[in-house]
Structure 1
C-alpha cells in the first residue's frame, strides 16, 4: 500500500498526533519526542505508548519515524557537544522504542572545520556507542551541504556506516528531496533521475533507503540552502516529484512531507503527493 503522511505535532499528546495524522489524510507519519530546538526529551510512559499505538493501529497509520532534535551533532570535534548529543540521541531512541516506532531519523551534524573525513569518522565512532533498541533502525538523513555539514554526498553517508561498529540493518538512510536538490542532485528529468538512482545503488543501496522526506526547494539546484516549499510549488516542481515518488527504486518507501506551516498546510501537500502517484 502507498504510504504517505506528514510530520505532526505531539504537543497535545502522542495519541492525538496519530489522530491528527489520520485527519489530514496520512497513513504514515513522523513526530518529535521533544522540542526540535532543545535537549529535553519527553517522558513516554507505558500508558502514553499504548494510547499512541492503539490510535495508530485503529486508523491504520504507520510506519512512523521519530525525528531527532536539530541540536544533535555527532560530527563535531567538540567532545562535550558530542557527549550531550549522544545522551539526547539515546533518550530519543529509547522513546521511539517505547512508542513502538520503527525508525529514528537524525542529521549527522557538522565537522566545523575539522574536515569531512574527520566528521564522517566521528559520526561512525559515536554511533557505535549507542545502544540501539530492538525494533528501531537509526536513519542518517542526507543534508543540503551548507557550511561544514556531513552528508551532502550519498557516499559520505555510506562512509559513516562503514565507520560504525554496526552496519546496515541497525542503520539506514532517509532521503530528503529538498536536501538532495540543494546538494546538486537533479531528478527532474528521466536522465537525471536515472543518474540519482545509479548513485544510490553505488553508495548506500536502494534497499537501505528506508524513509523519504518529500519537500520542494525554494532555491535552485546546488544552492546548498535548506528551505522547504510546498510539493510542486518550488524549484523541483510537480514533474520532478512525479518522477521521484513513482520510480521503482523508491515508490514503496514510506513518505512524509515537512512542508511550510502556512496557507496550504499538511493535508494539501499529502493530497498533492497522492495526485502525483501513478498506478503500479
Structure 2
C-alpha cells in the first residue's frame, strides 16, 4: 500500500425523541428509545460510543410536527414519528461530562432564535464540551413550525437568504467581538477582561439588525464545526460558502462525484 492511509469518521445518528427514522422500533423488548427523556439514556449511549471509538454523535431535530397525512397528527402521535421531540442542545453537556473524545453535531434551525442569543448558546456549549460541538445549519421546511411561531413559511430560496445573513451576524459575534487576549483573569490587578479588547457588533441587513457585544468570552473553536445538508442549487451554494461537513445523497459513484464537484465549485 502506498501513500497516506485514509481515515473514516464514525458518527452515530439519533434524535431527541422516541422515533427518529426506524419508526415502531421502540416497541421491541430490547429497545430503550422510550427513555429518550432521561439523562441516563443519553449518558449510557455516549459512553457506549466512546468505548466503540466513534468520533461523534449527530443529533437531528425538527421544530414542527408532521400534520399533512390524514389532515392531522393521528399517525404521527400514535407511532411517535418524531413526536414528542425534545430540545437537542440540553442533552449535550451531560454526554460531554462522561466522555473525552466524542463530538456532538446538533441540528438547529436559524428561525428558532435570534442570532444574538443563539451565539451565546453555541459558545456556551463549545466551552462546556471543550470544543467538541458542531452545528447542522437548517432552514426548515415544515409549515407547522412557522405557524407555531405565528409566521408564514418563507419561500425556499428566501430561507437561505435569511440563513446567509444569520451566519454573517454570528461570524461577527463569534470571531470579531472579543480579542484572544481580552480575558486576563488577573486576580491581583482585579481585571478579569480588558474592555479595550472587546468590541460591539453592529449589523444592519435585509433581515436582521444587531447592536451589542458577544456575551461569551472566546470558546475553544469560536465558530463551531458547521454541517449542512442542502441538495438544491441554492442549498449547495449555501453549503459551499459555509459548511465544513456536507450531507449528500447519491445512488452511485457518478452522482456522488457530481454532487461533490458542484459543492466544491
TM-score normalised to structure 2 length? 0.45
Which protein has the larger Cα radius of gyration, Structure 1 or Structure 2? 2
